[in-house]
Amino acid sequence: MKPRTLKRPTSTYSIVAIDKKEGLMGVAVQSHWFSVGSVVPWAEAGVGVVATQSIAEISYGVLGLLLMKNGKTPEQALKALMTVDSSPEVRQVAMLSADGNIATHTGKNCIPEAGHTVGENFSVQANLMKSKEVWPAMASAFSEANGNLVERMLAALETAEYAGGDIRGRQSATIVVVKTKASNEPWKDKVVDLRVEDHPDPIGELKRLVRIHKAYEHANKGDELMAAGMLSEAMKEYELASKEAPEIEELKFWQATTMLNHGMVKEAKEILIDIFSMNKDWKQVLRVLPKVGFLSIDEQTLNSILD
């Protein structure tokens, strides 16, 4: 399992963190490097998360998770990989296991300013920074921030920029969050997986994507509640979805169709009239839904809505 030396200068700042009450752990990162999300963050539900950066060696992510999955602590996994690495002095790696243990390494030849801070339930690490205040500022921001794990990790990234950030500038960012306990439905165990590949304001764009993601979560929850006959609870979720992302007309459209399927014609019609005023093409979508079994209303009601 000897790591290969990859000359991939993914100098960056990142955070690995866990919220034991939420049962979530994750990695968030920003870099002046294209598609940092394909290099630095690694995560597996029930196992742990890894950030591998500086002259990034991807195998620290893959093999680090494998070693932790097979019972190694983050300290043991990191030490084992560094022992067989021909260039550990240029690596910066943070590993966090699902039980909250953390191991972090900043090699002596990481490009300054470089360093890391380990705190309760998190580690922040950075290299090629404009200021040595970047990672301490990230640590303070995460420790003091309110909100859920995602919001606190984003606060750490945002604060890194205020403290100077990457000396080269900004380009890409990502956030990955998984459950600390794996389930029998692994497709549900990755809670957030959002990437900004190339953008002048990657953290701002990442925050926007997180907001949109949250809106769709509310919409999906509304559908589940509606299917269970919990109409008032479903409506609250739909309202939250619209509030989070008022610019996305499609969320309102599917809310309205779900309401039509549950006999809420008057309420749905008010929403659809507003949608049609913004984009008439949604009329055609509504028209074909009964033909494919997605909408159960009679022809007369359908025409009254379309007209």
Q: Does 175 lie in the same domain as 100?
A: yes
The predicted pLDDT at position 226 comes to 87
**How is residue 112 written in tokens?**
């300054």
Closest Cα to residue 174, out of 202, 214, 141, 133? Answer: 202
| 53 backbone dihedrals φ, ψ, rounded to 5° | -150, -160
d(CA 133, CA 165): 9
Q: Does 258 lie in the same domain as 151?
A: no
Look at residue 103 and tell me if it is in a domain: yes
Q: Does 135 lie in the same domain as 273?
A: no
Query: What's the structural domain count of the chain?
Result: 2
Q: What is the mean pLDDT of each run of 10 residues along the chain (307 residues)?
A: 52 95 98 95 98 95 98 98 97 98 97 97 97 98 97 98 94 98 95 98 98 96 91 92 94 94 94 94 96 93 93
Look at residue 203 and tell me if it is in a domain: no
Look at residue 4 and tell me if it is in a domain: no
d(CA 124, CA 135): 6
d(CA 61, CA 113): 23
The predicted pLDDT at position 7 comes to 54
CATH of the domain at 48: 3.60.20.10
The predicted pLDDT at position 231 comes to 87
Q: Does 192 lie in the same domain as 81?
A: yes
Per-residue DSSP letters for 55-117? E--THHHHHHHHHHHTT--HHHHHHHHHHT-S-GGGEEEEEEETTS-EEEEE-TTSPSS-EEE
The predicted pLDDT at position 5 comes to 47
The region, left, alpha or beta by phi > 0 then psi within -120 to 50, assigned to residue 23 is left
The predicted pLDDT at position 227 comes to 87
Residue pair 48/68 in contact (Cβ under 8 Å)? The answer is yes
Residue pair 14/40 in contact (Cβ under 8 Å)? The answer is yes
**How is residue 134 written in tokens?**
């970047």
**Strands (E) located in the chain:** 9-10, 12-19, 24-31, 41-44, 48-55, 91-97, 102-106, 115-119, 122-126, 172-179, 190-196
What residue numbers bound the domain in which 34 lies? 9-198
Q: What does the pLDDT look like over 167-188, one tens digit per residue?
A: 999 999 999 999 999 999 999 9
The predicted pLDDT at position 9 comes to 61
d(CA 29, CA 11): 10
Q: What is the pTM of this model?
A: 0.92
Q: What does the pLDDT look like over 64-104, one tens digit per residue?
A: 999 999 999 999 999 999 999 999 999 999 999 999 999 99
Look at residue 206 and tell me if it is in a domain: no
d(CA 88, CA 82): 6
